[in-house]
Structure 1
Amino acid sequence: MTRLTICIPTRNRQAYAMDAVRHMLASPRDDFEILLGDNSDDAAPLADFVAEAGDPRLRLLPPEAKPLSLRSNWERMPPHARGEWVSFIGDDDYLDPELCEALRVTSLRVPHVDAFTWGRSFFVWPDARTGREITKIPTGSHLIHMEKKDLMRKMFFWEDAKDRPACPFGVYHGALKKDLMERIRDAFSDRYFEHPNVDYDSICKTVMMSDACIYWERPLSVFGSCKASNSAGLRDDQLGKERLRTFREENDGEMEARDFPIPIDLGITASVAHTIEWFKQRYGIELNGWEEGFIKACAGNCETESDRTRFEEKKAAYGAAIKAWGGEKAQKLFAPVYRYRADVPRFMGHAEGHLNFDMGIGDARTAAEFYKIIDGMLFPVRLLESRLAA
C-alpha cells in the first residue's frame, strides 16, 4: 500500500529537487512515492534523472507544451497521487519519508484524522545567506488534537498571529488524506487550488473541510530557502519586488481581493490577507472582529525588519494603507516598534520549548543534510507508537 505521495512541483531548479529526491530515496521504506511536477523549460535533466534512478517510488510529470503557472502546476499533481495521504513541498525543501510512520500511528490513535502537520524547521541555503544565521526547532514530541474552532480563530481572525496566521494545517508541509483533497475539490469550484498563493489557499480550505486535525510538535520537514526561491524575497526588499513581478507575469488567477487597499507588495502579511479576503469574498463568508488581529500582524511584519530605514518605510506604507482601509480608528491600533539590536548577540540555547542554534551546524549544504543533523537531536519517529502506548 502506498501510504503517502510526496509532491514536488519545480520550475528550472532541477538540481535542488534532485538533491531532495536522492535523500528521500535512500529511505528503506516502500510505502511512499515521490511525484515530481516538472514545469521547467528543459525537460531533459529531470527525465534523465528519473530514468537513471530506476526507482518505482519515483514518478515524473513532464513539462507541458507551454509553461504553467505555479497554481496550475500544483493543480495537475493530486489526480496522479497514488497515496492515501498527499503532501507538497518546495524543490529546495526536504520531507522525511518517516512521515509515513507518524501517519500510521496517528491513524490508529485517531481513525478519523484527515489533516496532519508537524513542527517547523527552516534552512537558508548557503547561496542565499548574507551572514551568520540563527535558526530554531521545537523540541517537544506531543501529538495534539487541534479543535476546529481554534483553527478558525487562528486562520480567519488572526489570533496569536505574529506576521501571518498561526495555523499550520494544509497540504504544504502538511499531509491531507486523499479523500479530503477530493472533498475540497468538489466543494470549491472543482479545483484543489484556486488562489495563486496556493499554500494559504490550501489552509483556508483545510480548516473549513477537515474532520480531525492532528499536530505533532516534532519537525518532519525543512522549509528551505535558496537564492532562487520566492521566500528569499522575504529577506531582501528589492529581490522581493522582482520575485513578485515575475510571479504576476506567470500568474493565471486573481491575486488581490476587491476593495482591500493594502498593497500586496508590502510584505507577507498583506499577501496572506489578500488570499484570505479573496477566499471569503468568493464564497460569501462574512466575518467581523478579525481586523484588530490583522492590524497587529501588520505591525509584526514591520518588526521583522533589521534595517531602521526599511522599518520606517514599511511602517509608513502599512500605516497609510491601514488608514485608507479602516480610518483613523484602525490606524491607532497599528503601533510597530523597532526592536532590532545589533549590539545584542542572537540567543542560542534552549528556551520556551525551542532549541536555538547556528544554522551552519555540521556544515550542512542542503536542506536534506540539515534535516539529517536535526533528526539526530529529536525524538525518534520510530518510538512514537511505544510512547503513546505507555
Structure 2
Amino acid sequence: MFPRPKLTVCVPSRNRQRTFKETIRALLQRPRVDVQFVFADNSDDPTIMDTFMADRLADPRIVYLSSPPETLSMVLNWERSIEAAEGEFICMIGDDDYVDVKVIDMINRVQALDPALDVLGWHRMSYNWPGMPRPPANVAVSLETNVRKIPRELLYTEFFGWRGVPNTPRIPIGFYHGAVSKALMDSFKERFGSYCGNPVVDFDNVCKVVSSAKALYFCGRPFSVMGACAESNSAAAYNTDIYKQSHKRFMKEVGRNTDEDDYLKDTPFRAEMGLMACILTVQIWFTKTYGYEMLPGWEKGFAEACSRNCEYMDTKESYDHTVRGYRRALRQWQGGKYIPFFKPEPFIDRYKARLKTGVIDGKLFLEERLPGISTPEELYAFVEQIIVPPEEVTIEAQPARVAKSA
C-alpha cells in the first residue's frame, strides 16, 4: 500500500477524448508514488475512454470515473472528482492541459517552513494546440526564481476590488492550476454546502480561497501549461460567434440560463458579454449568496478590465461586438458614471502582427510553434531546460505588503 498521496491531480473531461488521452499519457510518465490521478469522463460516448483506460487501471495511482448514463453538469463532474481525491492537496486541470507533479517537491519544501500551508499557486504558461482557430501566438515564460507568501487580504483586495488591471481579477490562486489543501476544500463544503457551487467552477473556487484561506504562497516558476484546443471553452473566449455557441451549450448543460438568475437583477452585465462580465457575475453571486462584499472603488477597475477584454478579441467583428456590448451596459449602469474609464485600445489584427520574442520584463517570450512541440507537455519539457530547477527556487517566508485600498 502506498501512503496517502501528497497531491491529487483531478482531470474532468467532456467530449474531448483526443486531448484527454494525450494529457493522461503525459501525466502518467512521471514515476512518482506520492501522487494520485482522478480522471473523470463525462462524455456522450463512454466507450472511447473506457477502452483507453482499460489497460491503465492496474496503476494504483489512478481513479477512473467513467461517464454516467446521464450527462452531468460541469459542477457535478468536478464535484465527484474532488470527492474521489485522497491527496493532501488537490490540483484541477483541464483535459487539454499539463501539470508537472514535481510541484509536490515545492509543496513539501514550503510546508517544512510553514506547516500551515493550505494554498500554493504558480505561474502558468499558455499553449494553443495545433488546429486551434486563433492567430499566431507566443508563450510567456516566467523567469522568476522565488516563492513568496501572500496575505489573503491582499488577494481579496485584488480580486473583489478589481485592482491591478489587466492582470486582475485573473488571479492564479485556486485549485485550477494550483494546489489547495483537501482540508481547506472540505471546509468549503461544510461552510458553503458544496465544493463547487457556481457553474463557473474555477472562479467559484477563487472566491472561496481569497475569502477563507490562511496560508497562501505563490511560486514565480511555472509548473503547468494551460492548453486550448479547438473544442475547448478557451477557443470561445476570443471569438464572439464561437463564444455564443459555447455559452448556449454551457447553459443547456447547466439546465438554466444563469444570466437570468435573480441575483443579477440589479446589474446590466451578463456572462454572455465576455470574460470580465462572466467573472463579475460569479463575484456578485458569491457576495450576495454568502454575505461578502465587493470593495469600494471596484467599479472603476472593472470598467478598465472590460477595455482589456475587448482588446483580447481575435477578429475585428468580435472586437466591435464586444465593445458595443460593454459600452451599452456601462451607459445603463449607475447613470453611465464609469463609461469614462472604458477606453479600449484600437483593434490589432494579430494575424498580421509580428510576435515579440526574447526576454522582456522578467519573462521569456517564445514563438508557440516550435519544431517538435505539439502538446502542452512537450512545451513544458522544452521550457524546463531553460528555467530554474525546482530545488533551486528560493522560498521567502516574509509576506508581501498589503496594498492600501484606493
- Per the TM superposition, whether the score is higher than 0.5 is yes
Task: Describe how 1:1-390 pairs up with structure 2 within 5 A.
Answer: 1=3, 2-53=5-56, 54-162=58-166, 164-188=168-192, 190-252=193-255, 255-256=258-259, 257-258=263-264, 259-287=266-294, 288-305=296-313, 307-338=315-346, 340=348, 345-384=354-393, 387-388=394-395
Where 1:195 maps in the other structure, the secondary structure is coil
Residues 151-205 of structure 1: CA deviation (Å, up to 9, x unaligned): 01111011112175042111111110000000111111x2000000000000000
Instruction: Provide the rounded CA distance (Å) in 1 between the counterparts of 2:248 and 2:222.
Output: 33
Where 2:344 maps in the other structure, the secondary structure is coil
Instruction: Provide the rounded CA distance (Å) in 1 between the counterparts of 2:284 and 2:51.
Output: 43
Q: In 2 relative to 1, CA 25–344 (structure 1 residues): closer, same or farther, beyond 3 Å?
A: closer
Q: In 2 relative to 1, CA 60–135 (structure 1 residues): closer, same or farther, beyond 3 Å?
A: same
Q: Name the stretch that deviates more: 45-54 or 30-39.
A: 45-54
Residues 319-356 of structure 1: CA deviation (Å, up to 9, x unaligned): 11011122122222222221526675221110111111
- Residue 297 of structure 1, CA deviation: 0.4
- Residue 240 of structure 1, CA deviation: 1.1
- Residue 306 of structure 1, CA deviation: 5.1
* Contact 1:6–1:87 under 8 Å retained in 2: yes
Q: In 2 relative to 1, CA 277–95 (structure 1 residues): closer, same or farther, beyond 3 Å?
A: same
RMSD value over aligned CA atoms? 1.9
Q: Which runs of 5+ in 2 are unaligned?
A: 397-406
Where 2:359 maps in the other structure, the secondary structure is strand
* Contact 1:348–1:355 under 8 Å retained in 2: yes
- Residue 236 of structure 1, CA deviation: 2.0
* Contact 2:315–2:349 under 8 Å retained in 1: no
**TM-score, length of structure 1 as denominator length:** 0.94
Q: In 2 relative to 1, CA 214–253 (structure 1 residues): closer, same or farther, beyond 3 Å?
A: farther
- Residue 315 of structure 1, CA deviation: 1.9
Instruction: Provide the rounded CA distance (Å) in 1 between the counterparts of 2:9 and 2:361.
Output: 31
Q: Which runs of 5+ in 1 are unaligned?
A: none
Instruction: Provide the rounded CA distance (Å) in 2 between the counterparts of 1:272 and 1:318.
Output: 14
**TM-score, length of structure 2 as denominator length:** 0.90
Residues 212-270 of structure 1: CA deviation (Å, up to 9, x unaligned): 11000111111000000011101322111111110010014773342221132111001
* Contact 2:39–2:63 under 8 Å retained in 1: yes
- Residue 80 of structure 1, CA deviation: 1.2
Q: Name the stretch that deviates more: 57-66 or 255-264.
A: 255-264
Instruction: Provide the rounded CA distance (Å) in 2 between the counterparts of 1:31 and 1:40.
Output: 29
Instruction: Provide the rounded CA distance (Å) in 2 between the counterparts of 1:364 and 1:225.
Output: 14
Q: Number of matched residues?
A: 386
* 2:388 maps to amino acid: F
Identity, % of aligned positions:
30
Instruction: Provide the rounded CA distance (Å) in 1 between the counterparts of 2:244 and 2:38.
Output: 31
